[in-house]
Amino acid sequence: MQKLLVFVVQMCLILSIQALTIEEKATVTKIGKKCIEETKVDVKLVEKGERGEFADDPKLKEFVFCFLKASDIINADGYPKPDEIKVRLANDAPVSEIDDVLSQCESKAATPVDRAADLWKCYWKKSPVHIPLQ
């Protein structure tokens, strides 16, 4: 349980530079727990991914898909929701920067899970600052 708490706290830090409200923190915690339980991902792989070390692991990819979809960052087909992302980032990044990162992170992967994983990896590589998504 303590490891799960550490993970959720890390996700809060990773996904947000700005201070999260109590409600947002509760949402991140709820989504993180739900996706860990559903995917049975090894939390160590998630922790490594948070540092930019991405394992080619099916459960990790499923976790990323679950988390981004439940956070309303991607749709059921694994494609990003640019308008939703721009609304969330309005106070943290210029629209041109958001558009630039999104255009660089278009995935040609065949499955929604792989598209979500590609987005996550690309975001870490291309974003000059890890701008908040949650």
Domains and CATH numbers, the chain: 2-126 (1.10.238.20)
Please spell the DSSP secondary structure of 71-94, one letter per residue: TTSB-TTS-B-HHHHHHHHTTTS-
Global pTM reads 0.79
Nearest to 89 by CA among 52, 39, 123, 50: 123
**What's the gap between Cα 33 and its chain centre?**
14
Note the pLDDT tens digit of each residue in 63-90.
Answer: 999 999 999 999 999 999 999 888 877 7
Note the pLDDT tens digit of each residue in 12-23.
Answer: 445 544 455 778
Supply the DSSP symbol for 105: T
